[in-house]
């Protein structure tokens, strides 16, 4: 009672004082540059570049598994499209890597309740061969539970790891709940397991499995490793709860080959000052093999490319904008590593990527918060009308620009709403219809703002002399 009576009094007396103090101590007002605002608003209202790229790439190429012939076709498509859009210096920077491809796959409960489950192999899974393997299921609800189990409980069996990932706006569940995929196969292999199946690292309830990369580390022998769909994992848990031994027949055929070819597709909006540090943006061109890679990551390269195109349409920036459609991100960020190595001598004003779908950006963070608060304030002011808040505690991320940032480039992260991202991520369901064009335009507007703020100023193109 005492507290309840006191609280309103405190508020009444404290609030005006606090408000006066705050207003008095506010920094000078920051208003977005009207030129930046105009470019942003035009992109928000009118952008079609991003949709045209996503629609074209997913329709005319479809899936683009890293280091395959499909990814090669995607690079050809990319060079053609980026050239047609007017970008300069469009070229492929090739690199070599191992290629992993999927064959036939199926999972079947043999006993006690015969039925088929839907499964997909994880990247770099070992192969069962066409005849498959049969083993008893041993069930764990986390990687830690598997690690704590005696080897004798696992040896010769098919490990099943469960989890309970839920949707989160910032996608933060993916780190913790992705452990069964990233570490499970290695731990299971080291304990002598015959194979491993995990509950898909996803937040949906559809019969579409979520694949994704994993590596066998610490000298572990590759074993067959697959992801059951979420409904199938829940079904397996119900079957296990009956308390009888559960036997599964698992077929995961796959193949791995060294020395395959991938590459980054690079395009530029040349700056007026070729020596000025570069703005590096992009997304990745490769995709997993079962969807058409619309949200992961045709959207990301389309958004950043569209933003660069809006700058190009407005004139010539002081700094060069380099757009990269990275190759082979999914199997381990090969493209990002290759780009950083090939361009070790380049200096950057910023590096940023879009690789989390196309739903609205809700916050951003940047190295400029510390290194140049005035620029950070300009970024904040220009993004605020799009509903984007600044996050001063953010850290750099991104598989593709990561190596370049580690080498010293200032970074920026524009965070998309990830609430429904893991419903589709790495599944056959990653298709064009999952993209909301209005939200994608907000993304393009945000990246256009960022490039405009950091461009060093955009001047109208000098009129070219007409040919006679």
Q: Which stretch binds a copy of itself (CB under 8 A): 53-61, 246-254, 313-321, 340-348?
A: 53-61
Minimum separation from the CB atom of position 206 to a copy of itself (A) = 5
The answer to whether 278 contacts a copy of itself (rule: CB under 8 A) is no
The answer to whether 245 contacts a copy of itself (rule: CB under 8 A) is no
Nearer to a copy of itself, 163 or 322 (CB): 163
Q: Which stretch binds a copy of itself (CB under 8 A): 124-132, 213-221, 421-429, 440-448?
A: 421-429
Write down the catalytic residue from 329, 406, 459, 461. Answer: 329
Member of 181, 434, 448, 450 binding a copy of itself (CB under 8 A): 434
Member of 41, 52, 55, 136 binding a copy of itself (CB under 8 A): 55
For residues 338-377, which are near a copy of itself according to CB under 8 A? Answer: none
> Which tokens is 20 given?
């006066």
Member of 45, 131, 395, 433 binding a copy of itself (CB under 8 A): 433
The answer to whether 235 contacts a copy of itself (rule: CB under 8 A) is yes
Nearer to a copy of itself, 163 or 390 (CB): 163
Nearer to a copy of itself, 118 or 458 (CB): 118
Annotation says 330 is catalytic = no
Q: What track of x and - describes contact with a copy of itself for positions 98 through 127 (by CB under 8 A)?
A: ---------------xxxx-x---------
Q: Could you give the CA distance from residue 236 to residue 208 in angstroms, rounded to a whole number?
A: 15
Q: Which stretch binds a copy of itself (CB under 8 A): 51-59, 83-91, 248-256, 389-397?
A: 51-59
Strands 361-366 and 412-416: antiparallel
Cβ atoms within 10 Å of 98's Cβ, excluding its own: 16
The answer to whether 231 contacts a copy of itself (rule: CB under 8 A) is yes
The answer to whether 63 contacts a copy of itself (rule: CB under 8 A) is yes
Nearer to a copy of itself, 242 or 467 (CB): 242
The answer to whether 432 contacts a copy of itself (rule: CB under 8 A) is yes
Cβ atoms within 10 Å of 238's Cβ, excluding its own: 10
Q: Which stretch binds a copy of itself (CB under 8 A): 152-160, 301-309, 430-438, 455-463?
A: 430-438
Footprint of a copy of itself (CB under 8 A): 55, 58-63, 70, 113-116, 118, 205-208, 230-231, 234-235, 238-239, 242, 290-292, 427-429, 431-434
- Which residues are annotated as catalytic? 329
């Amino acid at each position: 009672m005492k507290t309840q009576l006191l609280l309103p009094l405190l508020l009444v007396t404290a609030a005006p004082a606090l408000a006066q103090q705050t207003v008095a101590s506010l920094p000078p007002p920051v208003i977005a540059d009207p030129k930046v605002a105009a470019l942003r608003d035009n992109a928000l209202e009118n952008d079609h570049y991003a949709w045209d790229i996503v629609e074209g790439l997913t329709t005319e190429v479809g899936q683009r598994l890293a280091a395959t012939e499909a990814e090669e076709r995607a690079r050809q498509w990319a060079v053609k499209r980026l050239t047609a859009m007017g970008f300069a210096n469009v070229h492929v920077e090739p690199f070599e890597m191992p290629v992993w491809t999927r064959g036939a796959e199926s999972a079947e409960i043999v006993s006690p309740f015969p039925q088929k489950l839907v499964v997909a192999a994880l990247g770099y899974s070992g192969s069962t061969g066409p005849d498959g393997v049969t083993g008893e299921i041993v069930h764990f609800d986390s990687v830690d539970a598997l690690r704590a189990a005696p080897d004798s409980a696992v040896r010769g069996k098919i490990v099943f790891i469960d989890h309970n990932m839920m949707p989160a706006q910032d996608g933060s569940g993916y780190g913790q709940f992705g452990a069964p995929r990233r570490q499970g196969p290695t731990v299971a292999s080291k304990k002598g397991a015959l194979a491993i199946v995990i509950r898909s690292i996803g937040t949906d309830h559809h019969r579409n499995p979520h694949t994704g990369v994993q590596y066998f580390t610490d000298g572990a022998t590759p074993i067959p490793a697959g992801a059951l769909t979420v409904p199938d994992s829940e079904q397996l848990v119900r079957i296990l709860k009956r308390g009888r031994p559960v036997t599964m027949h698992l077929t995961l055929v796959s193949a791995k080959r060294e020395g395959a070819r991938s590459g980054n597709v690079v395009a530029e909006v040349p700056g007026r000052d070729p020596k000025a540090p570069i703005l590096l943006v992009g997304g990745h061109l490769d995709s997993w093999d079962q969807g058409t890679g619309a949200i992961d990551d045709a959207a990301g390269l389309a958004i950043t490319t569209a933003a660069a195109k809006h700058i190009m349409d407005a004139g010539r920036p002081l700094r060069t904008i380099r757009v990269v459609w990275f190759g082979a991100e999914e199997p381990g960020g090969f493209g990002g590593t290759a780009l950083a190595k090939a361009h070790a001598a380049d200096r950057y004003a910023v590096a940023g990527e879009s690789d989390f779908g196309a739903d609205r950006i809700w916050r951003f963070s940047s190295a400029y918060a510390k290194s140049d608060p005035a620029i950070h304030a300009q970024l904040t002011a220009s993004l605020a009308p799009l509903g984007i808040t600044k996050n001063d505690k953010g850290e750099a991320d991104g598989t593709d620009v990561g190596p370049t940032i580690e080498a010293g480039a200032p970074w920026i992260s524009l965070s998309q709403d990830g609430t429904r991202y893991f419903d589709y991520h790495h599944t056959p369901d990653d298709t064009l219809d999952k993209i909301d064009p209005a939200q994608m335009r907000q993304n393009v507007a945000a990246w256009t703002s960022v490039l405009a703020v950091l461009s060093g100023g955009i001047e109208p193109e000098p009129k070219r002399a007409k040919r006679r």
